[in-house]
Structure 1
Amino acid sequence: MMNNQLNTPELRILLIKLRHHGDMLLTTPVINSLHQHWPNARIDVLLYEETRDMLAAHPDIHHIYGIDRKWKQLGTRGHLAKEWQLLKTLRKQHYDLVVNLADQWRSAIITRFTGAPVRIGFAFNKRRSAFWRYCHTRLALVTNHTTLHTVEQNLTILEPLHIEPQTNVSMCYSADDWQGVEAKLAEKGVTGSYIVVQPTSRWFFKCWDENKMAQTITALQQDGRTIVLTSGPDKKELAMIDTILSACPTERVISLAGQLSLRQLGAIIDHAALFIGVDSVPMHMAAALQTPCIALFGPSKLTFWRPWQVKGEVIWAGDYGPLPDPDNVDTNTKERYLDAIPVEPVVNAARRLLS
């Protein structure tokens, strides 16, 4: 019955995921799988507005709808008006299939309101209610999710559709994105091979000691390598970059910290000889782009969040010292759990990947 409902020449699909940037990147195998199975389908995505740039250049996405968390600033009436407008807009698209990867009640309500004849979600343990089931026509099992990477977890939602999963993660950017990066590099005197180093994360407990990062950079500078430092625009991240720069020789190192858009960051990583970074979005981007990558990991769940199909090495702080249970970490702590990692294995890994 479900296959008959999806047997239409102008199939319309909506994929819903309401999470952070890295989560959005790791939904792309589902998008790629849907496109591979139905190459003529129109695939739309609903996400949080601030993550739009992560998927905006994906060639198989027809349209992106965003929920802007700033709507709350409009007051209750203004906020509800925006939500209602979005609901009506989505219902007018007459979707045939909604794939709800999200776990929020809001996503279930939206899924149901679209009126799509086929609506697939996950049978999350925390959502064992009649209303969650009512919002979806089929629920994919999550019984083995604790042993699967996030990419694999996402792909299990396709099981009710009997679609062959495509496991590649896609980090997409435009030619203009790379041209903008080239101009910035040229302004800084960088025209040849370079290494991208992203030492920062929005969670500082995921970061490595600044002096150790500076020592690593210095060793690579002495090898004749050029280093490009990147980070987000947050003041704390920029301060970390300044601390690292002050401890390095001045030659063959530049900073583009806070100066790149998300897609420009993808472009500069794609053209790099090597990426060195911590557990953060740029690390996932490097893995997706198959740029040689050194990923420094602390108390994150490696099973879920290791760089997917990485071309490189993961260096885990747990191999050098005790780590807390990931579920017990205070994300606002000032602890630097990665500090147990010595400089030598990072430099050696970099030299191996560059040889």
Structure 2
Amino acid sequence: MSTSISSFVGKPDIRVLVIKLRHHGDMLLMSPVLETLRAQWPQATIDVLLYEETREMLSALPSINHIYGIDRKWKKLGTRQHLTKEWQLLKQLRKQHYDLVLNLADQWRSALVTRFTGAPVRIGFGFNKRKGHIWSCCHTQLASVSGHQKMHTVEQNLSIFAPFAIPTVSDVKMAWPPTAWQAVENKLKALNVSAPYIIIQPTSRWFFKCWSEEKMAQTICELQQQGFPIILTSGPDEKERAMIAEIQANCPVEGVYSLAGELTLQQLAALIDHAKLFIGVDSVPMHMAAALHTPCIALFGPSKLQFWRPWQATGEVIWAGDYGPLPDPDAIDTHTSERYLDAIPAEAVINAARKYL
């Protein structure tokens, strides 16, 4: 352990920046890093740099002091204004005089931001694809990734603390403000729905992760006989909404409701938090359900289960690979219309769900 790192242990008021530039689910799964920092340094200032569109995943967490966002829409402003926005952000971060920067990202941009902060301790990962002088110079120390292929994403993120040799907090946290539940309550009242209810999220922005509409409708029809209202959710994309409409058209008129595309991420979290059961594919809402300890039936296809299975979840993972051959996850064409989850029989999902109703 270097002298500069060891000097932080026991120091109450350090200033920390955590950088993660990835998708929504990735942001949720890095929350244990923030909880570990807060547990070790209760009085620390903990800031986060992320992509602006993922802000809702973390913005309600009490462990964070401030969130800085890189808006990928800046590119549409033209080169000059785009560079101006980037420069303003860099200057803003440098003014914070961070003691420590934890760079969880693998982009060159994240490394350059890390270096520009001027923090005396800057820790990143020694990614195999980033072997070289520039990456090393942007950080004062690199944490090993030698065990990452056998780790869940949560564990990969937490391994950034290896140089500190401190205990880590592995719980994934999803928080939502009271206003989120108030908005959801109003929508539920309009539908004349009250808890307990079942949430089903059949969609993902990548359709190769989805189950067939027919099997999902069959599952809903069976579970509706349990007497719980069933609420269908999805993202706002028109293809996702069309998928929900097709599923709903093959379900009973009574007892099945849609809030597809109508909820913010924090409103969706509030809805999931009050649910009896969540059923969904490998997607952000599935990770939310796991974090919120809502019983969860997760349907997986050719995703890397070791990395992306629901973390510390109550419920079951149903993997299509147990029912038929799947392609290598690294060889998937993400734009394919192939439904790899179709190998999963409806009975497997129905029987698993009934255990939690």
Q: CA deviation at 1:312?
A: 0.2
Other-structure match for 1:276? 279
2: CA distance, partners of 1:276 / 1:7: 43
2: CA distance, partners of 1:120 / 1:290: 32
2: CA distance, partners of 1:286 / 1:163: 28
Q: CA deviation at 1:9?
A: 4.0
Q: CA deviation at 1:7?
A: 5.8
Would the aligned equivalents of 2:11 and 2:41 in 1 still touch at CA under 8 Å?
Answer: no
2: CA distance, partners of 1:77 / 1:246: 50
1: CA distance, partners of 2:319 / 2:12: 48
1: CA distance, partners of 2:31 / 2:225: 39
Other-structure match for 1:330? 333
Aligned partner letter, 2:323: Y
**Aligned: 1:353 with 2:356:** yes
Map 1:81-120; keep pairs closer than 5 Å.
Answer: 81-120=84-123
Other-structure match for 1:296? 299
Aligned partner letter, 1:35: R
Other-structure match for 1:127? 130
Other-structure match for 2:269? 266
SS in 2 for 1:200: coil
Q: CA deviation at 1:8?
A: 4.3
Aligned partner letter, 2:60: A
SS in 2 for 1:85: helix
Q: CA deviation at 1:53?
A: 0.6
Map 1:205-220; keep pairs closer than 5 Å.
Answer: 205-220=208-223
Question: C-alpha offsets along residues 266-320 of structure 1, whole Å, 9 cap, x if unaligned?
Answer: 0100100000000000000001111000000000000000001110000000111
* TM-score (norm: length of structure 1): 0.98
Map 1:135-214; keep pairs closer than 5 Å.
Answer: 135-214=138-217
Would the aligned equivalents of 1:5 and 1:117 in 2 still touch at CA under 8 Å?
Answer: no
Map 1:313-324; keep pairs closer than 5 Å.
Answer: 313-324=316-327
Q: CA deviation at 1:223?
A: 2.1
Aligned partner letter, 1:83: E
1: CA distance, partners of 2:233 / 2:110: 34
2: CA distance, partners of 1:97 / 1:224: 53
Q: CA deviation at 1:192?
A: 3.0
Aligned partner letter, 2:335: N
2: CA distance, partners of 1:293 / 1:151: 18
2: CA distance, partners of 1:100 / 1:232: 29
Q: CA deviation at 1:163?
A: 1.9
- Which 4+ stretches in 1 moved above 6 angstroms? none
SS in 1 for 2:7: helix
Would the aligned equivalents of 2:209 and 2:282 in 1 still touch at CA under 8 Å?
Answer: yes
Would the aligned equivalents of 2:46 and 2:66 in 1 still touch at CA under 8 Å?
Answer: yes
Structure 1: runs of 5+ lacking an equivalent: none
* TM-score (norm: length of structure 2): 0.98
Deviates more, 1:174-183 or 1:14-23: 174-183
Would the aligned equivalents of 1:101 and 1:122 in 2 still touch at CA under 8 Å?
Answer: yes
1: CA distance, partners of 2:28 / 2:318: 22
Other-structure match for 2:64? 61
Would the aligned equivalents of 1:13 and 1:95 in 2 still touch at CA under 8 Å?
Answer: yes
Q: CA deviation at 1:78?
A: 1.0
**Aligned: 1:44 with 2:47:** yes
SS in 2 for 1:34: helix
Would the aligned equivalents of 2:272 and 2:289 in 1 still touch at CA under 8 Å?
Answer: yes
Question: C-alpha offsets along residues 234-276 of structure 1, whole Å, 9 cap, x if unaligned?
Answer: 0000000000000000111110010100001001001000000
Match of 1:245 among 243, 248, 252: 248
Report the aligned-residue RMSD. Answer: 0.9
Q: CA deviation at 1:155?
A: 0.3
Would the aligned equivalents of 2:290 and 2:311 in 1 still touch at CA under 8 Å?
Answer: yes
Would the aligned equivalents of 1:279 and 1:295 in 2 still touch at CA under 8 Å?
Answer: yes
Aligned partner letter, 2:216: M
Would the aligned equivalents of 1:6 and 1:97 in 2 still touch at CA under 8 Å?
Answer: no
SS in 2 for 1:98: strand
Q: CA deviation at 1:222?
A: 1.7
Would the aligned equivalents of 2:12 and 2:42 in 1 still touch at CA under 8 Å?
Answer: no
Counterparts in 2 of 1:5 and 1:37: CA distance versus 1, 3 Å: closer
1: CA distance, partners of 2:224 / 2:71: 43
Structure 2: runs of 5+ lacking an equivalent: none
